[in-house]
Structure 1
Amino acid sequence: MNAPRQGLFASLLIISFALQAFLLVLATTYQLKENRANQGQLMTSQLVADGLQEMSPPNTVSLALIANRYSSNPSVASIRILGMNNDVLATSGLQQTRTGEVFSRDALQNEKKVGRVEITLVKPSIGEILRTEWLAIVLSFFLHVILWLAYRVIARPSRTEYIQRIQHEMQLKNEIQSLTEALEQEKQKNIELVTQQDMPKSKVFNAEQVLDNTQAKDLNKSQIALNIQFYDPKQLLNSVSQSVATSHFNLCQIFLNKSIALCAQHYQIPTSTISIEEEFNAQGATICITTDKPKAATCLLMISTVFQLLSEVLYKRYREEKRFVLQTRCGISNAVDEMQLEAPQAASRLCQLLSAKESAVHLDHAMLKSVNDCYQLVALPSPTNVLTRHAFMINGMNTPCAVIAQKLRTEILKGKKTTT
């Protein structure tokens, strides 16, 4: 049981140690520079005072002895005493070849220049500074090591938390496994249904409940449509094989089918009023519901909500397993006569304006009033036409509807079968 994000915390500690060492060297360099400036001014003043009487007339022996006395200081690289014509009277220093900071001062006698002294003080290198500050750097290193060890102990999850995480991962894995098995069963059931009824390429929900698309059109009733599209800004669908994409489409279709069945049962709406206009493909899926039932719009929004919850479970699980998966978005709309758009076309166009996990609705006043009690609606930003001016984003739902959606989601993930 490792602590979370150990690598990130270790990187932060490394950066902190490097920054602390840099600031320590920087502060030491600045302090040494200040001390060197004070020392250089003081030593030149004293050297001028001690050697002034020996410069006029020049006494090179005495000046050499004075220079040697000052050069015994380890911070002094070299000393030069010059006459009034800049001729060298005396030199001294144990490190005359070493560069450093030069301090000079004129020797004045009765306000007349009789000479000049120059003292070069050693300027320590970065290596020398590090050697003087090695103890502080080592202590800082051990402090960061202690912080690293403490983080591993403190941030490590408890046994209970670790077990809960493992159980959650196993639960998600079992849910995806059950959905995959359901996919295979659904495929087999569709094959048997097509064989029995001899209706190739027909789009049915199941053998007992689904209304054929052609029959739905013949009813010539008002409809509202739910369009579900994949949110794929990086065009990942174009980079995967057809078999991988088809498998993902089929799994999403199972989610949608089960969402339709449970939501229709909950709102006591016959599934014959719901038709699948387009099954899942690269462009998404579309279903329609006739509006002759009082709760038709509420049922369609619940189908959208439950499907979005299932899609998010699938997205999180497949992302953990590094498998192909896409997030979805939903648009619900009735026909828009002003733009000559039927309900499926309007829902598709509305869906294209959304991002991942977002949903939007465009309904007439009566249906909008019926769903407004359950869902929190906000106006669509930056409307450009009749469709977007009268459309609303779904920004939340009340507690009873949220409980229902979570319950239906859980039933689908647990593989419970619905009754007709």
Structure 2
Amino acid sequence: MFTLNAPRQGLFASLLIVSFALQTVLLVVATTHQLQENRMSQGQLMTSQMIADSLQEMNPPNTVSLALIANRYATNPSVASIRILDNSNQVLATSGMEQTRTGEVFSRDALQNDQKVGRIEVTLIKPSIGEILRTEWLAIVLSFVLYLVLWLAYRVIARPSRSEYLARVNREMTLKNEIQELTLALEQEKNLTTLSQNLPEQAKPVLKAAVNDTDHEPSAQLNQKAIALNIQFYDPKQLLSSVSQSVALSYFNLCQLFLNKSIALCAKHYRLAEDDFVLKDNFSAEGITLTIQAETYKAAECLLMISSVFQLLSEVLYKRYREEKRFVLQTRSAIASAVTEMNLEAEQAASRLTPVLSAKESAVYINHKLLRGATDSYHLLALPNPNNVLTRHSFLINGMNTECAELAQQLRTDILKSKK
């Protein structure tokens, strides 16, 4: 059975609840302010009228008549109490249905021939918040019904159709099957790796010895034609050190499989030989480095495409494994040529440039001739906060043109659909 619920239904309900609460508070505040203004007008008017009615009975004081006047005004339901006092503040008459209740007091002197002959004090009831809510119950209930109707309407309008839901489920299942197929292919790759361990030493990449030599003794003659791609994991929380070696190795092997397939398809598209690409070791906690001799821009363009396709594959793997609560990390990559000012070979420059990037970011440092070709296909931005020659002349890859984007997407799809 499929459950066709509207997306983020709970969040929308929370927003409606908050909105209803704010509307109720604003209603109470507005009503309180309006009642206060009405009390001010009523209190001033009532004291003026009582002075006019009782002035003749205050001098000399006629308590019976003053009591009748006070009782007549006390019949107003908003009056808590009334007091009539003489000029020495002695009470002449009192009245009121709720004399013990506090409220807002309005007081005014009674003057006769510019002389004070008494004072009128009227206390008007100040309703509490509970009383205001009881008087506004109809508006509150109607507002609640309106928000309930909005929530029900959202559930109906925003609910995906059955065909949309089935299409999304089908995409999820297809992607899961593709990941499973790649995992099976990884097991076959591991078996081939075990067999290849018995190959002669001459079959291993010769670049490793060359790099080791440059590590110990920097060479004045740098290889200006070499371009290296360095891929590293973005792991700010040091998750890699917390997983078992078997889990990490399985994950590294899957990344290696992605990279191998990316190299194969990109080399075929750009009509290059796979042997032109030299891998330094395999994927490990430090990532991996791939090198090619870039005689023309085509080789550099192929290396840029390998980086883009691998980043797309890495993001697919990251989303899937996160949903399955499995260990996975995001990646970052850098492409660089030799840096003469810092006496760095291409491999060293790429591995030093990658750590300044964040997740899913790619950067490039290549000579001006190759850089001119890259600007036609990629949108490049200067790296922020450069601190050396390498970062000052490097660029962040911020996008690509439509042709390159479609090619990267197509190669990614072909890799995910491929079977060993």
Q: Common fold, TM-score beyond 0.5?
A: yes
Q: Report the alpha carbon displacement of residue 321 of structure 1 after superposing the two structures with TM.
A: 2.5
| Residue matched to 1:45 | 48
Amino acid at match of 2:126: K
**Contact between 2:334 and 2:354, CA under 8 Å: does it hold in 1?**
yes
1:301-324 CA-to-partner distances (Å, cap 9, x unmatched) read 111111011111112222223332
Q: Report the alpha carbon displacement of residue 73 of structure 1 after superposing the two structures with TM.
A: 1.4
Select the residue among 311, 314, 317 that pairs with 1:314: 317
**Contact between 1:203 and 1:276, CA under 8 Å: does it hold in 2?**
no
Change (3 A) 1:59 1:214: closer
Select the residue among 35, 38, 46 that pairs with 1:35: 38
Select the residue among 383, 393, 403 that pairs with 1:400: 403
| Residue matched to 1:304 | 307
C-alpha distance in 1, partners of 2:348/2:200?
30
CA RMSD of aligned residues (A): 2.1
C-alpha distance in 1, partners of 2:10/2:355?
40
SS class of match (1:338)? coil
Q: How does 1:144-223 map to 2 (within 5 A)?
A: 144-195=147-198, 197=199, 211-214=205-208, 222-223=225-226
SS class of match (1:49)? helix
**Contact between 1:377 and 1:392, CA under 8 Å: does it hold in 2?**
yes
C-alpha distance in 2, partners of 1:115/1:10?
61
More displaced stretch, 154-163 vs 407-416: 407-416
SS class of match (1:337)? coil
C-alpha distance in 2, partners of 1:40/1:10?
45
Instruction: Answer yes or no: is 1:58 the counterpart of 2:91.
Output: no
Q: Report the alpha carbon displacement of residue 402 of structure 1 after superposing the two structures with TM.
A: 2.5
**Contact between 1:378 and 1:395, CA under 8 Å: does it hold in 2?**
yes
TM-score w.r.t. length of structure 1: 0.91
Amino acid at match of 1:305: S
**Contact between 1:278 and 1:287, CA under 8 Å: does it hold in 2?**
no
Instruction: Answer yes or no: is 1:82 the counterpart of 2:93.
Output: no
C-alpha distance in 2, partners of 1:413/1:298?
22
**Contact between 2:292 and 2:299, CA under 8 Å: does it hold in 1?**
yes
Q: How does 1:106-117 map to 2 (within 5 A)?
A: 106-117=109-120
**Contact between 1:273 and 1:290, CA under 8 Å: does it hold in 2?**
yes
Structure 1 residues not aligned, in runs of 5+ = 205-210
Amino acid at match of 1:147: L
Amino acid at match of 2:7: P
Instruction: Answer yes or no: is 1:72 the counterpart of 2:42.
Output: no
C-alpha distance in 1, partners of 2:29/2:269?
72
Amino acid at match of 1:393: L
More displaced stretch, 299-308 vs 237-246: 237-246
C-alpha distance in 2, partners of 1:8/1:243?
40
Aligned residues: 407
C-alpha distance in 2, partners of 1:36/1:239?
70
**Contact between 2:13 and 2:151, CA under 8 Å: does it hold in 1?**
yes
C-alpha distance in 2, partners of 1:294/1:35?
83
Instruction: Answer yes or no: is 1:332 the counterpart of 2:335.
Output: yes
| Residue matched to 2:370 | 367
1:86-115 CA-to-partner distances (Å, cap 9, x unmatched) read 111111111111000001111111111100
Structure 2 residues not aligned, in runs of 5+ = 214-221
Amino acid at match of 1:128: E
Q: Report the alpha carbon displacement of residue 372 of structure 1 after superposing the two structures with TM.
A: 3.6
